[in-house]
Structure 1
Amino acid sequence: MIAFGQNLIDALALGSLYALAALGIGLIFGVLRLINFAHGDYITVGAYSLIIPSTQVMAQEMLGALPWPLLIIAVTAVVVILALLSELIVFRPLRAASAATLMIASFALGFVIQYTLLLFYSGRPKAFGLWPELTQVVEFVGLRVPLLQLITIAVTIILLVTLVGFLRYTAYGVQMRAAAEDFRMARLLGVKANRVIALAFGLSGFLAAVVSLLFLTQRGIVAVDMGVPLMLFAFVATVVGGMGSLVGAVVGGYAVGILSVALQVLLPEDLRAFRDAFVFLAIIIILLFRPSGLVKVKAVVERV
């Protein structure tokens, strides 16, 4: 029973990271019908924003001394600004282009971000001990679990509830929901397209910053490609959950997280190195029976 509880906490913590990352992707897809493959690089930039080029040790000592609210605000500001600039410079001029063109543009943006980081920081991974006290083990309902896992689950729940409240009870949230349902009709009814899309990118950047801080605290190492695996699993989560559904993105994120941990426990030791392959095989089987995803969504109408 204790082992089951520990595995459940592990699954929920991993699923929470995937759910937050998938939400960032789902917000953009819901409004613009764009799968932003640069989202993983937003996460990477959030981690690198804590390091000043060529003065890594000094930067770590300086930033580590900052109060945690200021540090969170600083990282969030960097990633949100990057997301907004991406929308303004890259995606807004291509808004009338095809979905394939937008997807290629997102790949290109990701490569530009990665090689810019390589230019300033080199490709060598760097150790960065962010909030090491959060990795300590605590007693929780009879289980010994890392404090970071409990914080990850709690932060995810708080953000999900907040986002639901924003989308349901604020004017901008209602506009975003209207744009996701029928973008053309929403514009005819007075919804400002630029404002709604920029807001979606801003929220996506905020979620990427949160994932970046949680992931860096867990990982303790900054690398140029650190956001790519998260982006891959987050994208898979949005597909499994149901493209175009924020609820589906969350469900898919937790489904992928639970499946990953379950396979890590159930697979023979010789096969655990191939866990991700079994995860993707299971996802293919799910999609064979549920091509539209776990959460049923209305048909996606292509933007004009």
Structure 2
Amino acid sequence: MDLGALFGSFDSFLSFTIGGLVFGAIYALIALGYTMVYGVLQLINFAHSEVFMYGTFAVAWTFVLLHGTSSATWTLSEALPVLLVALVVAMAVSALIALLLERVAYRPLIKRGAPKLIILISAIGASFALSEAMGLRDRFAGWVGADSTLANYVSPDKARDVYTNPVTIEPSVLFNIGGYGVTNVDVTIIVSALLLMVLLDQLVRRTKFGRGIRSVAQDPESAALMGVNATRVVQLTFLIGGIAAGVAATLYMMKIGATRQSAGFILGVKAFTAAVMGGIGNLRGALLGGLTLGVMENWGAAIFGNEWRDVVAFVLLVLVLLVRPSGILGESLGKARA
């Protein structure tokens, strides 16, 4: 294959590949939420995209609170203190939204033995409700008389438009691969995703909590007989997925720097695609699926044009499912070995 003919040059090929890995790492972190919930409940949490979206707003609002609304351009080292605070806030907000979802949209239906289709519809409804609530944030502030106080956060005239972080993080080149300069932002995103994946994988495989997750995923009735609190396990599963979404939101804002109330939709679909490609219910599969999807859609955009990016991503999903319906790795969370 002539890479120069397809991508213009080998340097362009490296650029699209590394850029794909960066976005693939974000997909993988969001995919964790889908994988964890499906592994335990055999249900798809379609509202997880909004868990991520709320995390992106938490990051932007943290910068507004600590810096103000004036535009500024910082290096990564200059932004690091605020980024760390934003990371903690985003993880807390996303985790809180995830727990709220579990408590309101899932637990009552599960306790009543509702069919999985009903629970799925509940998750879709929760997704739209959360998205619309963020789009109407100016109305909520107005109801409590705080619209003027919170004007920098609720932006009443642009509640559904793009909300931009006032601070732009300027990447700097750390080293070159071929003719492509790998930046500190690229390295931070990829390494952070890998570290979190390894930490979570070891948590599930080697800890008492992880054994509880695997036992509930494999046989909830037997797990209950052995004293495992299934409700607590489900809560912690949503919590972990929310924390991972908060990390993904921070990395996304560090790279993109803008969000909106519908930002979670397409990224959520891509992350779900990554989870299915890697093997839904498989933690390592979420990482592999995310990185593969990010790279392949970037290559597709380079070859066919940027408008074909999403088409390439979903055609790839169909092809993987035709060849291997269980995904690339295919092992479920309940069968993970310690």
The answer as to whether partners of 2:63 and 2:82 remain within 8 angstroms in 1 is no
Residue 109 of structure 2: SS of its match in structure 1?
Answer: coil
C-alpha distance in 2, partners of 1:225/1:137? 32
Q: Which residue of 2 aligns with 1:139?
A: 175
Q: Which residue of 1 aligns with 2:278?
A: 241
Q: Which residue of 2 aligns with 1:16?
A: 25
The answer as to whether partners of 2:58 and 2:86 remain within 8 angstroms in 1 is no
The answer as to whether partners of 1:130 and 1:217 remain within 8 angstroms in 2 is no
Q: Which residue of 2 aligns with 1:79?
A: 94
Task: Give 1:224 shift.
Answer: 0.5
C-alpha RMSD over aligned residues: 2.5
Residue by residue over 1:254-299, the C-alpha shift from the partner in whole angstroms, topping out at 9 and shown as x without a partner, is 22112111212233x4xx4123213322321221121222123369
Q: Which residue of 1 aligns with 2:108?
A: 93
C-alpha distance in 2, partners of 1:7/1:222? 23
Equivalent in 53, 64, 68 of residue 83 of structure 2: 68
Equivalent in 253, 268, 281 of residue 315 of structure 2: 281
Residue 45 of structure 2: SS of its match in structure 1?
Answer: coil
Max Rg structure: 2
Distance verdict in 2 for CA 1:153–1:172, change over 3 Å: same
1:251 equivalent to 2:266? Answer no
Give the counterpart letter for 1:207 in structure 2. A
Distance verdict in 2 for CA 1:68–1:282, change over 3 Å: closer
1:135-284 matches, within 5 Å, as 135-141=171-177, 143-267=180-304, 269=305, 272-284=306-318
Residue 296 of structure 1: SS of its match in structure 2?
Answer: coil
The answer as to whether partners of 2:59 and 2:250 remain within 8 angstroms in 1 is no
Equivalent in 56, 59, 66 of residue 65 of structure 2: 59
Residue by residue over 1:174-205, the C-alpha shift from the partner in whole angstroms, topping out at 9 and shown as x without a partner, is 11122122222212211101110010000000
Task: Give 1:32 shift.
Answer: 1.3
Task: Give 1:141 shift.
Answer: 4.7
Percent identity among equivalent residues?
29
1:46 equivalent to 2:46? Answer no
Provide the TM-score with structure 2 as the length reference: 0.79
Distance verdict in 2 for CA 1:239–1:65, change over 3 Å: closer
Equivalent in 15, 26, 45 of residue 36 of structure 1: 45
The answer as to whether partners of 2:165 and 2:258 remain within 8 angstroms in 1 is yes
Equivalent in 86, 99, 109 of residue 126 of structure 2: 109
Give the counterpart letter for 2:259 in structure 1. V
Q: How many residues align?
A: 294
The answer as to whether partners of 1:127 and 1:222 remain within 8 angstroms in 2 is yes
Task: Give 1:99 shift.
Answer: 1.4
The answer as to whether partners of 1:50 and 1:60 remain within 8 angstroms in 2 is no
Task: Give 1:35 shift.
Answer: 0.6
C-alpha distance in 2, partners of 1:299/1:152? 25
C-alpha distance in 1, partners of 2:47/2:271? 12
Distance verdict in 2 for CA 1:284–1:137, change over 3 Å: same
Task: Give 1:68 shift.
Answer: 3.3
Segment of structure 1 superposing worse, 70-79 or 27-36:
70-79
Provide the TM-score with structure 1 as the length reference: 0.88
Distance verdict in 2 for CA 1:274–1:73, change over 3 Å: same
Give the counterpart letter for 1:87 in structure 2. E
C-alpha distance in 1, partners of 2:33/2:283? 9
Segment of structure 1 superposing worse, 280-289 or 195-204:
280-289
Task: Give 1:65 shift.
Answer: 9.8
Distance verdict in 2 for CA 1:65–1:280, change over 3 Å: closer
